[in-house]
Chain A
Amino acid sequence: MSSFGSSAKRVEDPVLLRGEGKFTDDIHLPGLLTAAMLRSPYAHARIKSIDTSTALELDGVHLILKNADLALEYTTTELPLMVPNPLITKPVTPHMLAKDYVRYVGEPIALIVAEDRYIAEDALERVIVDYEPLPVAGDFREAVKRNAATAHHEIEDNVCAEFVQAFGNVDEVFANAPHIYKNTFFQHRGAAHPLETRAMMATYDELSDHLTFYAASQSPHRVREIYAKLRGIDDNQVRVVVPDIGGGFGAKGQTYPEYFSVAAAARLLRRPVKYMEDRRENFTATHHERDQLWTAEIAFNDDGKLLGFRGTLLHDSGAYVPWGIITPYIAASTVPGPYLLPAYEMKVTCVLTNKVAVTPVRGAGRPQAAFTMERMMDTAALELGRDPASLRRQNYIPADQMPYKMGLIFRDGSPITYDSGDYPACHDKAIELSEYDSFKERQKAARSEGRFIGIGIASYVEGTGLGPFEGANIRVAPSGKVTIHYGASAQGQGHQTVFAQIASDQLGVDLADITVIGGDTQGCPYGIGTFASRAIVNAGNAVHQASEAVRQKIIKAASYMMEAAEEDMDLAEGSVFVKGVPKMSRTLGEVAEFVNGKPGFTLPGGIEPGLQELSYFTPKQAAYANGTHLAEVEVDVETGYAKVLRYWSGHDCGKMINPMTVEGQVLGGVAHGLGNALFEWMRYDENAQPVTVNYGEYLLPLASDMPHVQQVHQEIPTPQNPLGVKGAGEGGTIPAIAAIIGAIENALKPFGVRISEAPITPPRLLELIECARKN
């Protein structure tokens, strides 16, 4: 039976369920010291002096590092811009530890290393920093104005990039369209909030001049590259290892400043040093996605055909742009979504503020884009007197137009080409699942009982599986067991199971005999990382290619060993055998031993040493996933609490390797979107002081907030890769905010409430209800 396509139970689970996982903070190395980070309490200030003398007197304190100390360790203390773009006019990146200035609350200033965390924090309180507070660029809507306080003292204004994404003749469309609707949307997304905060530990071996860096990183090879580059050393002098990770959701994909001071401390002290971020630090210093302000205009003809879309996007970049302008760029290129759109224009302005940097969180700007488009679709449906679902369906790109050139250029520089999918069919599946057609009756019945329920719908397209590549290194040992090293790392996606499923079919080996190891730069020489819904496409296909090659090597060697034709061979149950002749069989272990050779003897003709293959998969372009979600909510008009009662997802991520884990990804994504729609708000005051720094002030969705989510899948394989797979990690989040808020608006239709913001918290919803009641 094929393992591909089956809901195999996860091989990761037993260890985690027994509490025997090895997360970074679970690793106790001999001689381990613990660090704490001194962080800026000011959003913008000049550091006049730092006095560490009293702190150093404390028993158990080993070292305190400041920027000047790191300047001796690295060629520069300024971090590189990870994704440069010529559109960025102010390519500002942070220092490993602040150099003279701090530009957001939480910016690292000094690293304190002590016997344990308790002592390190005692020492933290004894460091005396003399600050000169500077004017603050707080709210991004103010910061963009001329003469606003600047986020960096040396810049003239806060605009760090401006660009336009456009196609078609927008002016002409809007000059002639019979129906034009306008709106403005303030959208806030909080942060990633993995349950495990950022975690790192470094250990240095003086004898071999080699650093091993343990990090809860989504992108271990990037960490290795940047570390080696900034130290001016060869990359074989550093190994980055990713232990178990307690969730990432984008935030752990960044190469953070803290990595470098921790690594330096381990080298200077010749002892392992660990740093675990605490939750308050996670709120202030782990990157957010935060604020965007959109204006939008949509044009239709009399028959409900979409003619054009134009608008502006103001994006809060935070104090630095370490990941460039990826988030707003993706946002601006996602708005057209699944629709036949003749003309489009989005003018984007990115503005610096004195807040922590904005980099991708699950969805990476796409949820905001989908919200903008889908809210405009709802507005149009209302104004045109059309059903929101049927208006959407009328305007989808039909399946026979695939591959479809959407008109924009994606962030990899290639024209956006939707490669596959049947959007109307996927929509129909979701509609059917949700019993949409009978909703109006349910709504009527509820209203007669004084209950306000509503339904919302949202569709999306997501470019997944971007390159450049991911690699897999597969080896069959003389034990017959298979080891797969791949370049990225897992944060809960189930890579160990799913990649083993891919190899299992090719090699005829049980899942139990396959070990999958990610996140070790020593296991796979090059890698990019697990983010942007790319691991299954890139690493999954690399595993497929490498196992195919190993399969051929097995067949070739077995053919020689058994003197039988290669084309007669097959693999199953850990053996290679001649089809129809069960006696003619060798275990993979025997073949592995054979190709490992004997000292002094030449391998017979054409047989390569070792059952091993390192293969990289390099996609030509993104593979486009899509979906349609529906949400049913009930609003308590007395409290403003919106409860999502039911939720449906129709989803196409191409071939599903493990439907159970795909559903898990979608579910988690929906929960993230629900949080963004109803609760999550990283608030700052006007001086850019964070005011939500714990889970009493910042609310995450709980089990009592989540509805039961029903899913239906459409499997249209992408032609972009041999497995036909598309990414599934972010699709759950992208339409969820729009669907839920659409449902709230629908529930409150009797009051005429219109919602142009996210999240919509209970107090705010009450305000809108009150306001609508007065009018």
Chain B
Amino acid sequence: MTTMHEITLKVNGADYACEVEGRLTLADFLRHQINLTGTHLGCEHGVCGACTVLVNGKTARGCLMLAVQADEAEITTVEGLAVNGELNDLQQAFMEHHALQCGFCTPGMLMTLTELLEENPHPKEQDVREAISGNICRCTGYQGIVAAALAVAEQRDC
């Protein structure tokens, strides 16, 4: 019989107290247990980056972390970026620069770039490319994504 664990955590500012199986991944917890399906699963082995979320402000792979490891953590998912449904500047820039096509990798890209722009407000193109080199996009060739991130960095400067 599988052992259940009590966890409490904050996701996008809301408090959750849940019972989870020890083997449940954080991504599956977010997607199937609390129904935040914006975090996507592309490879389930930590390479594609689609499931990237912020755990206490740092990026983490939702597929490589167990839900129990997120006990007492603060998680931000893609659903936590827009405020009252209004796209934030990075999301808006993605739209302006055609940084998404199918939109499946987009949540992970947004979370990775959220962290980058926090840590390095003035990234060079190469910094952006390196930052997202752990996120695979099969549609865009990355050009729009890079342009969006650079545009946001410039805007935030003004």
Contact B141 A18 (CB under 8 A): no
Contact B103 A246 (CB under 8 A): yes
Q: Is B21 an interface residue (CB 8 A)?
A: yes
Tell me how far the C-beta of B42 lies from the nearest C-beta in chain A, rounded to whole angstroms.
Answer: 4
Q: Is B10 an interface residue (CB 8 A)?
A: no
Contact B133 A246 (CB under 8 A): no
- Contact bitstring A1-44, B, C-beta under 8 A = 1, else 0: 00000000110111011111111011010000000000000000
Closest to A708 in B: B143
Q: Which residues of B contact A195 (CB under 8 A)?
A: 40, 42, 48, 50, 102, 104-105, 136-139
Tell me how far the C-beta of B55 lies from the nearest C-beta in chain A, rounded to whole angstroms.
Answer: 17
- Contact bitstring A651-693, B, C-beta under 8 A = 1, else 0: 0000000001101100110111000000000000000000000
Question: Could you tell me the distance between the alpha carbons of A20 and B87 in the complex, rounded to whole angstroms?
Answer: 12
Q: Which residues of B contact A670 (CB under 8 A)?
A: 141
Q: Which label, helix, strand, loop or mixed, suits the secondary structure of the B interface?
A: loop
Contact A279 B44 (CB under 8 A): yes
- Contact bitstring B39-50, A, C-beta under 8 A = 1, else 0: 111111101101
Interface of chain B residues 57 through 115 with chain A (CB within 8 A)? 77-79, 81-82, 85, 87, 91, 94-96, 98, 100-107, 110
Q: Is A244 an interface residue (CB 8 A)?
A: yes
Tell me how far the C-beta of B43 lies from the nearest C-beta in chain A, rounded to whole angstroms.
Answer: 4
Contact B139 A492 (CB under 8 A): yes
Q: Is B130 an interface residue (CB 8 A)?
A: yes
Q: Is B155 an interface residue (CB 8 A)?
A: no
Q: Is A207 an interface residue (CB 8 A)?
A: no
Partner of A279, one of B37, B43, B110: B43
Known contacts A695-B136, A703-B128, A703-B146: does B40 contact A196 (CB below 8 Å)?
A: yes
Known contacts A194-B138, A195-B136: does B129 contact A244 (CB below 8 Å)?
A: no
Interface of chain A residues 675 through 722 with chain B (CB within 8 A)? 694-696, 700, 702-704, 706, 708-709
Q: Which residues of B contact A706 (CB under 8 A)?
A: 129, 141-143
Question: Could you tell me the distance between the alpha carbons of A704 and B45 in the complex, rounded to whole angstroms?
Answer: 20
Question: Could you tell me the distance between the alpha carbons of A494 and B41 in the complex, rounded to whole angstroms?
Answer: 22
Q: Is A150 an interface residue (CB 8 A)?
A: no
Closest to B147 in A: A708
Contact B104 A246 (CB under 8 A): yes
Contact A668 B141 (CB under 8 A): yes
Known contacts A195-B48, A696-B47, A706-B143: does B138 contact A17 (CB below 8 Å)?
A: no
How many A-B residue pairs lie within 8 Å, measured between CB atoms? 172
Partner of B96, one of A9, A196, A494: A9
Q: Is A265 an interface residue (CB 8 A)?
A: no
Contact B42 A279 (CB under 8 A): yes
Tell me how far the C-beta of A691 lies from the nearest C-beta in chain B, rounded to whole angstroms.
Answer: 16
Question: Could you tell me the distance between the alpha carbons of A116 and B32 in the complex, rounded to whole angstroms?
Answer: 10
Q: Is A249 an interface residue (CB 8 A)?
A: yes
Contact B104 A196 (CB under 8 A): yes
Q: Is B123 an interface residue (CB 8 A)?
A: no
Q: Is B120 an interface residue (CB 8 A)?
A: no
Q: Which residues of A contact B100 (CB under 8 A)?
A: 13, 16-17, 492
Q: Is A502 an interface residue (CB 8 A)?
A: no
Q: Which residues of A contact B139 (CB under 8 A)?
A: 195, 247, 492, 664, 668
Question: Could you tell me the distance between the alpha carbons of A95 and B149 in the complex, rounded to whole angstroms?
Answer: 48
Question: Could you tell me the distance between the alpha carbons of A12 and B105 in the complex, rounded to whole angstroms?
Answer: 15
Contact A19 B107 (CB under 8 A): yes
Known contacts A25-B37, A667-B143, A696-B47: does B94 contact A17 (CB below 8 Å)?
A: yes
Tell me how far the C-beta of A371 lies from the nearest C-beta in chain B, rounded to whole angstroms.
Answer: 20
Contact B129 A247 (CB under 8 A): no
Question: Could you tell me the distance between the alpha carbons of A695 and B137 in the complex, rounded to whole angstroms?
Answer: 13
Interface residues contributed by chain A, number (CB under 8 Å): 53
Interface of chain A residues 711 through 768 with chain B (CB within 8 A)? none
Q: Is B23 an interface residue (CB 8 A)?
A: yes
Partner of A9, one of B95, B128, B145: B95
Contact A18 B91 (CB under 8 A): yes
Residue with the highest number of chain A CB atoms closer than 10 Å, among B39, B101, B102, B110: B102
- Contact bitstring B115-134, A, C-beta under 8 A = 1, else 0: 00000000000001110111
Question: Could you tell me the distance between the alpha carbons of A672 and B138 in the complex, rounded to whole angstroms?
Answer: 7
Partner of B132, one of A14, A492, A695, A703: A703
Tell me how far the C-beta of B13 lies from the nearest C-beta in chain A, rounded to whole angstroms.
Answer: 15
Closest to B1 in A: A59
Contact B140 A23 (CB under 8 A): no
- Contact bitstring A602-638, B, C-beta under 8 A = 1, else 0: 0000000000000000000000000000000000000
Contact B144 A17 (CB under 8 A): no
Known contacts A18-B85, A668-B140: does B21 contact A118 (CB below 8 Å)?
A: yes
Tell me how far the C-beta of B104 lies from the nearest C-beta in chain A, rounded to whole angstroms.
Answer: 3
Partner of A694, one of B32, B47, B77, B101: B47
Residue with the highest number of chain B CB atoms closer than 10 Å, among A22, A194, A671, A702: A702
Q: Which residues of A contact B87 (CB under 8 A)?
A: 14, 17-18
Partner of B140, one of A17, A20, A25, A664: A664
Q: Which residues of B contact A194 (CB under 8 A)?
A: 102, 104, 138
Q: Is A286 an interface residue (CB 8 A)?
A: no
Contact A491 B102 (CB under 8 A): yes
Contact A16 B138 (CB under 8 A): no
Contact A694 B98 (CB under 8 A): no
Contact A492 B98 (CB under 8 A): no
Question: Could you tell me the distance between the alpha carbons of A392 and B103 in the complex, rounded to whole angstroms?
Answer: 39
Tell me how far the C-beta of B31 lies from the nearest C-beta in chain A, rounded to whole angstroms.
Answer: 7
Q: A694-B47, A706-B142 are in contact. List 20 more A-B contacts (CB 8 A).
A: A17-B78, A18-B78, A19-B38, A19-B77, A19-B107, A26-B37, A28-B32, A195-B40, A195-B50, A195-B104, A196-B42, A492-B101, A663-B98, A695-B136, A702-B132, A702-B142, A703-B128, A703-B130, A703-B133, A703-B145
* 19 A-B contacts (beta carbon < 8 Å): A13-B103, A16-B100, A17-B95, A18-B79, A19-B36, A19-B79, A23-B37, A193-B138, A194-B138, A195-B136, A247-B101, A247-B102, A664-B144, A667-B141, A671-B140, A695-B47, A696-B45, A696-B47, A703-B128
Name B residues whose Cβ lies closer than 8 Å to a Cβ of A. Answer: 21, 23-24, 31-32, 35-45, 47-48, 50, 77-79, 81-82, 85, 87, 91, 94-96, 98, 100-107, 110, 128-130, 132-146
Instruction: State the 6 A-B residue pairs at the shortest beta-carbon distance, nearest first.
Output: A19-B38, A246-B104, A492-B102, A16-B103, A492-B101, A19-B78
